[in-house]
Amino acid sequence: MLVRLLLALLGFIPVIMLFPLITAITSGENKMIYSFASVMIVTIILALASFFSLRRKKLNLNAKDGFLIVFAVWVLASLIGAVPFFNWGLNFTDAFFESACTFATTGATTVGNVEALPRSLLLWRSIAHWFGGIGIILVSVALLPLLGVGGFQLIKAEETGPEKEKITPKITVTAKLLFLVYCVLTLILFILYLIGGMNRFDAVCQSLSVLATGGVNIKNNGLAAWDSAFIDGVTTVFFLLAGINFNLYCRVLQRKFTEIKNNVEIKAYLGIFAVAAIIITVSLVPVYGSVSSAFRYASFHSASIISTAGSVTANYEQWPSVAKMVLFILMFTGGCSGSTAGGIKIIRHVILWKQVKNETLRMLYPQGVFRIQINNRVGRNDVVYGVSGFIFMYLFVIMIVTLITAASGIDLFTSLSAALSITGNIGAGFGAIGPGHNYSIFADHIKWLFSFIMIAGRLEMWTVFILFTRIYWRK
């Protein structure tokens, strides 16, 4: 039953592959026409057969089912999405790595010359990025009523952040509302890119990528290929917008402005960005010779890293040490919960900081009772425990990935940078994966490890690692 539900959920892939197929036809890319068409036909047959077989059956999903389905959807989507890369000429390992990078919104790649990719494949990377950003499951949940399935268990397993919430009574309405906000922001960015001088194809691909905070580019030099302060500025703003909890945009539509005003996470998020951008700007003034140029590059890269987009417009490895250190620290932050950003998430840092303050007060007043407050509401103790456990697991995974990568012959700093970048779905890094480099230097078994960690990082760790515990499989 779960397998059939899984195949039915994957029915969205032929829909989004239609656009790259049309591009392949209009561009005369015969190899890619066959690649996309074959995948679409097979997937449609399996999805429709599963859909109609489930129409008359009553399905009740529990939390355990949600974890398994979400992980399986991301893995199978990455596997199916790898077929066009494989047919174009990449080996199977690199093809799966590229596909996992797209759906996990990690801007990493093994392709040295992305401009050599067919137009249809460039569009497919961007579209897969876009759907990975909004969440494959979030999109699918809006369709689950057709099967008579409740979707909150899937949302809980896929949505980022320590707490999940419904912004409307029905979870399908919530999914559709979030998807509408996502589409509107993408459309606005597309129009701004056209105003900035991009052609329609470039504007489509880049706007899809930016809203997903994925960092995938269609030019070898990324957004630096346009050398436009306007495009850099617009992209900076939308990096920040994409890194904000999308529930807050829905609160704007509902005119609940007080909740936005009291939201501590967005204040911390914008505050961290502002401090980072100012420090880097000051350090870059001697490099670029003017405050405006220094601020342009400082704000862009600060927004890119904190939102885990990972796009670059300059070789920051040639910047002063203080600027590089600030960017390195930002790799540990991440964006807001409920956004397309990856990483630890700002709200977890806020919760732990408040707990540090409470522990300090407890040392002064041993008999006192102290509770953290989030958004003017008293938080639960179990949230603190969950956040502590998550951050420990996150850092432990980074340590293990660094160790395994270093054991393969990669230098320690590059190994640590790659582990941080992959776990946080950032893509950009330092050392041998810095600006101008890619992930082709890693051995195949390291790329498979990275692919798994990317998916785990996108799904907030617990969703994936709980599947490898014995207690999960007990009845």
List of residues 6+ apart from 288 with CB closer than 8 A? 294, 297
User: pTM for this structure?
Assistant: 0.88
What token pair was written down for 418?
């790659």
User: Could you read off the pLDDT of 77-124 as tens digits, one per residue?
Assistant: 999 999 999 999 999 999 999 999 999 888 889 998 898 999 999 999
241-275 pLDDT, tens digit each: 999 888 888 888 778 778 788 888 899 999 999 99
Do 139 and 179 meet the contact criterion of CB atoms below 8 Å apart? yes
Using a 10 angstrom Cβ sphere, with 0-12 exposed, 13-18 middle and 19 or more buried, the burial of residue 75 is middle
Q: What is the pLDDT of residues 348-406, one digit of tens each?
A: 888 888 888 888 888 888 887 777 777 777 766 677 888 888 889 999 999 999 999 99
Mean pLDDT for the chain? Answer: 85
267 vs 179 pLDDT, higher one: 267
Return the higher-pLDDT residue of 163 and 245: 245
Q: Kindly report the CA angle at 377 between 374 and 383, in degrees rounded to 5?
A: 55
State the DSSP string of 283-315. Answer: HHHHHHSSHHHHHHHHHHHHHHHHTT----SS-
pLDDT band (50, 70, 90) for residue 42: very high
3-state DSSP assignment of residue 334: coil
Region 13-17: mean pLDDT is 88
Mean pLDDT of 334-358: 87
Is a pLDDT exceeding 50 seen at residue 213?
yes
DSSP label at residue 377: E
Query: What is the tally of helices (H) and strands (E) in the chain?
Result: 21, 2
